[in-house]
Chain A
Amino acid sequence: MNIAYFLFKDIFRKKLRAFLTIFGISIGVCVCIIMLGIGESIKHSFKDVYGKRQIDIVVQENDQLSILLSRLDAQVARQIRALGAVEDAGSVLLYIHQMNKAAVPVFGWEPDTFLFEGVELIQGRRPVAGKNEAMVGIVLKRVLDKEGQTQIKIKDQIFDLVGVFKSSSPFEQSAIVMPLGGLQDALRQEGQASFINVKLKSAFRSDEAIEGVLKEMEIALPKVSAMRADAFVAEKTKFIVMGEQFSFLVSLITIIAVALGLANTMVTSSFEKKKFLSILLAIGWPKIAIAVLFICESLVVAFIGGALGILMGFKVTAYIFSMTSIQAFVPELSLVFILKIVVMLLTGALFAGLVPAWITLNSNPVEVIRGE
């Protein structure tokens, strides 16, 4: 027999109580995962657009905060490609199209650039420039299939859907992509782009080299604003970060509630075991061993509940994503993210274990044994 065996047997001695406590913790942790997970997943998905395509620099209109309102001359991309450090640059025109009350991003990508390499064509073919053709992300395709749509109308122009693609970016999974010219025509914004994605040659991808390229662009292209892709993502996901902070606060409150519930169970358990614990003290258990026993019990219960809650959380988040318009997002099992929840939970459990430990350490075993 060892202490772990004792703890498990003791916890599950009262099966219903153990189940209810663990289930309560699971629900609390599950809520935290959902709250933090949604923001985290969206942020990661946004980062993927740039990270997985190896975009180093984003160029947009000077002093324009909104990526949707930013407009610059699409021909700037050609000037950027002429820079020695640049491997490729592609102009992107972004428009948000309303379709059945849902917001669908429409991308106009400059043909023959690396932009198209970031998606995997799984059905049909790429749209051809000069024809009113578009391809759609797999998630949007599923929605369109339900309605039997093979064409899409943007402003007054009708586009044939000629291909379906998969992308690592959830934004693109539920987006329409067409050659830049097609979207410019539809929006009557000839020669315009929202921003330009720039990929540098591998020799110029260090932080110092990127800074150097940015300075070079600043001089060569004074009418536009160039920034590092990671800074661009951070700026565009500011609202998610704010939401995340709010989610973190709610999660913290949830964990405190869970810890209080656990402390209540632990205190009840300590009252039930009062006599037995006093006997342990009488027969030679040090008080510190009893305190450790409570803390370990609390941590074990929290660990089991937490593990179940994390699993449940990811399943529920995935379900929520699949049921709503954000179905393209995939909840991510980020280690840092899980650690945040685990640390919060175990801190709560430590507190929950300390309460009965403190009560026991301050009780007089003789009084307890004699029932005083």
Chain B
Amino acid sequence: MNKEEDVKNLFQAVNLGKYYPLTRSHALWDVSLAIEKGEFVGIKGPSGCGKSTLLYLLSGLLVPTAGKIFYQGKLLSRIRDKVGYRRRNIGFVFQDFYLYPGFTVLENVLFPCLYRGFVQTSIRKKAKTLLEGLHMGHKIDTPVQVLSAGERQRACIARALLNDPQCILADEPTGNLDSHNGQIILEMLKKINTQHQTTVILVTHEERVSTYAHRLIHIIDGKVQQA
């Protein structure tokens, strides 16, 4: 790769493959793609086609069985501290929210920083600001289990943004939401992308994602069909 591409691309996958030996299945075959900094990319495809596997490979949670991934020009497999890489650069938004019941919205948003043993006041203030920006300011002390699905997903987005990530990996974030709330979440992700130049990679079945994404990547049977 040349230096110009290094600056431009956040991720670059070259001949990427992922084979699951337990199920003896190839989730991804020879996938090559590049995602630029500040891009909003939609990844579409039928269930089981390898969309989520691609996200987990980019995050370093999974290791490819073939090919290479570059993050800002650096070979991802050479980054030893994958945990630190995720913490500094990646924000996750999941379909099933994965908020921790019994704790408030604010506490859930603060979890990414709690691994140090404590949360600084400045981070607490930042979390509040993020929640206010997502129209959740009035819910910060509400236990997450009493929130609506749309509110839960907004709390998840705030959690994903707490560490100022370069990129948000959203795995079907509208999958458990009604059409109205789904649209709100997509608009919020678009706003984050536009305002903060945060790269958003969004895995979805939704047709309307094309309205928000700069481009769509279609994956079928583990192969990129159209990018």
Residues of A bordering B, CB below 8 Å: 1-3, 6, 9-10, 13, 273, 275-276, 279-287, 289, 365-366, 369-370
Contact = CB atoms under 8 A, between A and B. Distances in A.
A13 B102 contact: yes
20 contacts: A1-B118, A1-B119, A2-B117, A3-B114, A3-B117, A3-B118, A6-B107, A6-B114, A279-B98, A280-B111, A282-B59, A283-B111, A283-B160, A284-B84, A284-B88, A284-B163, A285-B83, A285-B112, A286-B83, A289-B115
A365 to B, nearest CB: 6
B52 A370 contact: yes
5 pairs of A and B residues whose beta carbons are closest in the complex? A284-B87, A13-B102, A2-B118, A285-B115, A279-B98
B61 A366 contact: yes
Contacts of B119: 1-2
Report which residue of A9, A273, A369 has the largest number of chain B beta carbons within 10 angstroms of its beta carbon. Answer: A369
Nearest to B62: A366
Contact of B100 (A3, A276, A365, A370): A276
Contacts of B101: 13
Q: Is the interface of A mostly helix, strand, loop or mixed?
A: helix
Contact of A365 (B61, B90, B91, B103): B61
Given A1-B107, A282-B92, A283-B112, A276 B87 contact: no
Contact of A10 (B90, B102, B117, B118): B102
Given A9-B103, A369-B94, A283 B61 contact: no
A206 B176 CA distance: 82
A150 B149 CA distance: 83
A1 B124 contact: yes
B31 interface: no
B61 A282 contact: yes
B68 interface: no
Interface of B: 52, 56, 59, 61-62, 83-84, 86-88, 90-92, 94, 96, 98, 100-103, 107, 110-112, 114-115, 117-119, 124, 159-160, 163
A370 B20 CA distance: 14
Contacts of A13: 101-102
Nearest to B84: A284
B43 to A, nearest CB: 16
Nearest to A282: B92
Contact of A286 (B103, B110, B115): B115
B56 A366 contact: yes
Given A2-B119, A366-B62, A284 B86 contact: yes
B100 A283 contact: no
Nearest to A296: B117
Contacts of A283: 86-87, 91-92, 111-112, 159-160
A252 B213 CA distance: 64
A9 B112 CA distance: 17
Nearest to A285: B115
A285 B117 CA distance: 11
A180 B75 CA distance: 95
Given A284-B163, A370-B52, A279 B92 contact: yes
A369 B98 CA distance: 9
Contacts of B98: 275-276, 279, 369
A192 B100 CA distance: 80
A284 B52 contact: no
Given A1-B114, A6-B114, A366-B61, 19 more contacts: A1-B107, A1-B110, A9-B103, A10-B102, A13-B102, A273-B100, A276-B100, A279-B92, A279-B94, A280-B111, A282-B61, A283-B92, A283-B112, A284-B90, A285-B115, A286-B83, A365-B61, A366-B62, A369-B94
